[in-house]
Chains A and B, each alone.
Chain A
Amino acid sequence: MKKLRLYYEEHNKGPFKLLWKHFTQQHFAFFGFITLLLLLLLAVLTPFLTPHDPYLQNSQLLLVPPSWQNSGLVSYPLGTDDLGRDLMSRLMLGTSYTFGLAILAVLGSLIVGVILGALSGMSKGVKSSIFNHLLDLALTIPSLLLAIVIVAVLGPGLMNTIWAIMLALLPQFVHGVRNAIQQQLKQDYVTAYRLDGASQRQLLLFVIFPNIWEQLVLMFTMALSTAVLDIAALGFLSIGAQSPTAEWGSMIADSLDSIYLAPWTVALPGLMIFVTVLAVNLVGDGIRVAMKKRREN
């Protein structure tokens, strides 16, 4: 029922509602958002959902094609790999490795980045200058090279490359947060709060952060697509996730030998990576466009 309005009243939607409205108007972005939610759900619930044990090898059922082909089996909808492991279960488990770990890595990096960025954004002078130049150095080292160095020090493994990815993502967060904060510091309302006697800490927590969190979300999505691609690439090069792990990149590397016999064992994990990254990028682009539209109105 519509609310009864006795007199004319100007009705303004909150900034978040406006953003959400502009976001949902873009169907592709919204579709990406739903896909991401589903993937997230899958990543969390995967131990309860897999139809078969992802690591169980069945020598009777090697390289069974997907069930839409004549020789496929209904109980193995996406076929099996060269060791007779159910591909669907492995792909589902891969969601929590490639996508889930990427989210955790980006979250960890974002938290450290926000803290360092806030420190750097609120400070001035030589200290901030030296800090920035150190960051510039870290920005220039290619992420794969950084991962190679870290793997050389700590040894290969999925967790070690996660550290490398977090470290490689950190500088862009610090830079982004710092720029966002310094942009806010120029605004008049920040000056007004300052004249009211707000301390640096209050300024940061109650004035600046509520105004930059959308930019943080945007940075998060951009970093998330990089993180997923990096985890998969390192798994593919067998620097990251090692062979039996059901990580999408290392699954592709494992199946390379049977690419002729069983193209689906290479095609399907790659498709999962592609869909995930595409969904993340759709959401990121959607947020950017929504923010722009809100600013224009």
Chain B
Amino acid sequence: MMFHYLLRRLFLLSFVFVALTVFAFSLGYLFPGDVLGNFTGLRNISPAEEIVLRQQLGLDQSYWQQYIYFNQRILDGNWALSFSSQQNVLDEIINVMPATLELASYALLLSLIVGIPLGIVAAVRKDKWLDKLISGFALVGYSIPIFWWALLLIMVFSLTLGWLPTSGRLSVLYEIPAHSGFMLPDILLSNVPYREEALFDAIRHLLLPSLVLATYPTTVMIRFTRESMLDVLEQNYIKTARAKGLTRLQVLYTHGLRNALLPVTRQVGLQFSTLITLAMITEVIFSWPGIGRWLIDSIYQRNFPAIQGGLLVVSSLVIAVNMFTEILHTLLNPLARKF
């Protein structure tokens, strides 16, 4: 049964990927400028080269054939060149992606660690002052525009107090050889004499951006966990458990939490798309060298191959995370299984 379910998910996944590549392919025609330039990323194409390239891309053949060639290039890693740097877009994305993933994963972790317990506390103390306080904070964090919040924090912690740096991932004083592209593991793995100082510096750089980025998902987690917990606490099996003589804590742990946290796994996947959007804005403000800033720069430079490549990679990532959390949710929750 489970196998059947996974097969269907896989079919759906491939369908979504086909639609995504069709969309990305059509952008080559939709973007302003020359189709040949959009697909290859080459700037000054001589007439002799043009004939060869047209042959390679199959531009004189049907759209269907061109789409197949496009997919072959994607799979071979033979992506278009960036207009601004004349490097393979895929290589550039692989360079900037870890910075975004690192930032987003710390923010997500922070939101789970802070958001879920607060949501549970708010649900248990429903309509008491603690619940009102937590819900009020959650509503404020939910409504605050992220770029303004980031500017406020920069004004307080960087400009006025001077505690934290405003931009970048690491001070230029330290040079860390890149292994994975993730800053903290890289520093820990490196063999430089200033390892501890560099680690401390990296954490100071990381603090403000991850705090800013975590604000919105944390409030979503608080609100969602609270709602989900309240729903569960109204169920009859909770009353039964209380009637059996279990203490409140026991009921909460064995019956409440397990059922209330199930929908939260799904929510993580649904929030991932928002998280990436917010990460892009955060990166621009804190000059964080991730894919968000890279994409925003690409739009300023009208760098169409980069936008096309970024769309493919970011969307694939979001789709993959969505699919993963959904499968996880189905595995954990028997009620969600509709085989």
Contact = CB atoms under 8 A, between A and B. Distances in A.
A139 interface: yes
Interface in A98-156: 133-134, 136-137, 139-145, 148-149, 151-153, 155-156
B145 A270 contact: yes
Given A144-B280, A144-B281, A225-B143, A270 B302 contact: no
B281 A142 contact: no
Interface stretch (A47-55, A69-77, A275-283): A275-283
B143 A277 contact: yes
Interface in A256-281: 256, 259-260, 263, 266-267, 270, 273-274, 277-278, 280-281
Nearest to A288: B227
Contact of B31 (A152, A236, A249, A263): A152
Q: Which of A139, A144, A263 has the most CB of B within 10 A?
A: A144
B159 interface: yes
B318 A141 contact: yes
Nearest to B146: A233
A277 B146 CA distance: 12
B315 A153 contact: no
B338 to A, nearest CB: 13
A266 B15 contact: no
A259 B147 CA distance: 14
A237 B145 contact: no
B19 A137 contact: yes
Interface string B261-275: 000000000000110
A162 interface: no
B155 A237 contact: no
Nearest to A136: B16
Contacts of B310: 145, 148
Contacts of B30: 153
Contact of A148 (B142, B144, B274, B299): B299
Nearest to B275: A142
Contact of B304 (A152, A267, A273): A152
A157 to B, nearest CB: 13
A229 interface: yes
B295 interface: yes
Contacts of B274: 142
Contacts of A88: none
Q: Is the contact region of chain B dominated by helix, strand, or loop, or is it mixed?
A: helix
B148 to A, nearest CB: 3
Contacts of B20: 137
Nearest to B317: A140
Interface in B302-330: 302, 304, 307, 310-311, 314-315, 318-319, 322
Contacts of B147: 232-233, 236, 249, 252
B108 interface: no
Interface residues of A, number: 42
A143 B277 contact: yes
B296 A153 contact: no
Q: Which of B159, B298, B310, B311 has the most CB of A within 10 A?
A: B311
Contact of A281 (B143, B146, B318): B143
A133 to B, nearest CB: 6
B29 to A, nearest CB: 10
Contacts of A266: 148, 151
Nearest to A235: B147
A166 interface: no
Contact of B145 (A134, A144, A232, A263): A232
B108 to A, nearest CB: 15
A249 B31 CA distance: 26
A141 B139 CA distance: 26
Given A137-B20, A145-B295, A259 B155 contact: yes
A285 interface: yes
Given A133-B16, A281-B139, A140 B27 contact: no
A225 B143 CA distance: 8
B178 interface: no
B299 A142 contact: no
Interface in A232-259: 232-233, 236-237, 239, 249, 252, 256, 259
B32 interface: yes
B118 interface: no
A236 B311 CA distance: 21
B139 A144 contact: no
B5 to A, nearest CB: 15
Nearest to B24: A149
In the A-B complex, the 5 residue pairs with the closest CB atoms: A270-B148, A278-B143, A277-B143, A144-B277, A142-B277
20 contacts: A133-B16, A134-B19, A142-B315, A144-B280, A145-B311, A145-B315, A148-B295, A148-B299, A152-B31, A152-B299, A153-B30, A156-B299, A239-B299, A252-B147, A274-B143, A274-B144, A274-B145, A278-B143, A282-B139, A285-B139
